[in-house]
Chains A and B, each alone.
Chain A
Amino acid sequence: RKEVEQDPGPFNVPEGATVAFNCTYSNSASQSFFWYRQDCRKEPKLLMSVYSSGNEDGRFTAQLNRASQYISLLIRDSKLSDSATYLCVFLDSNYQLIWGAGTKLIIKP
């Protein structure tokens, strides 16, 4: 089993819809979790950290489920500008970054 698994997509979603991605991880000792956004031909940029209690930033909600070993990202009222690849990453017990391969999201008008 890969250390981190993400559905590569693409997810084709109409504008205004709600979309959710999951990211599963195999290392139960994982310390910190993050979601990044990467636009085409650009560097990844931090979207949000994922806290144990869950956290929300505007239209974006991130959650952590340690029992089932996954994190999720929910995007409400999706915009055309949300089209991007979303990468999950976690820090393992050695503070190494373990990256998912990304989920491609396409928002259609």
Chain B
Amino acid sequence: SQTIHQWPATLVQPVGSPLSLECTVEGTSNPNLYWYRQAAGRGLQLLFYSVGIGQISSEVPQNLSASRPQDRQFILSSKKLLLSDSGFYLCAWTQMNTEAFFGQGTRLTVV
């Protein structure tokens, strides 16, 4: 069966520090991968999605970047965090026309 792992679950980082969140999927190949951010009480904001290795589409201009070095690995990064980067970050995967499955999420607090 397919599983998705996302870590860490919580993170407190100072302003200006780098960020690296990792997401891996098991039990499937060539998934579509997504990074979302969710502010408290709000909906999901799509940050990046990827349909294959090295293929990244960015939905919003911001302080973040994403990479897909392997088929089932998706990484969200920042060189210098801002206070406004705080939020709940979710990784998800889908196949072509199926439902999405989410990782447990990372709650990031930038202080």
Question: Does chain B have a CB within 8 A of A101?
Answer: yes
Interface residues in A77-96 by Cβ distance below 8 A to B read 87, 89, 91, 95-96
In the complex, which of the residues B34, B88, B92, B98 has the most CB atoms of chain A within 10 Å of its own CB atom?
B98
For B32, list chain A residues within 8 Å (CB): 95
Interface residue total, chain A, C-beta cutoff 8 A: 20
**Which of A14-22, A39-47, A51-59, A66-74 lies at the interface?**
A39-47
Nearest neighbor of B32 in chain A, beta-carbon distance = A95
Q: Could you tell me if A32 and B43 are in contact, using CB atoms closer than 8 angstroms?
A: no
Q: Could you tell me if B44 and A87 are in contact, using CB atoms closer than 8 angstroms?
A: yes
Interface residues in B75-111 by Cβ distance below 8 A to A read 88, 90, 92, 94, 96-105, 107
A-B contact pairs, 12 of them (CB 8 A): A31-B97, A34-B99, A43-B90, A43-B102, A43-B103, A44-B90, A44-B102, A49-B99, A87-B44, A97-B46, A97-B100, A99-B46
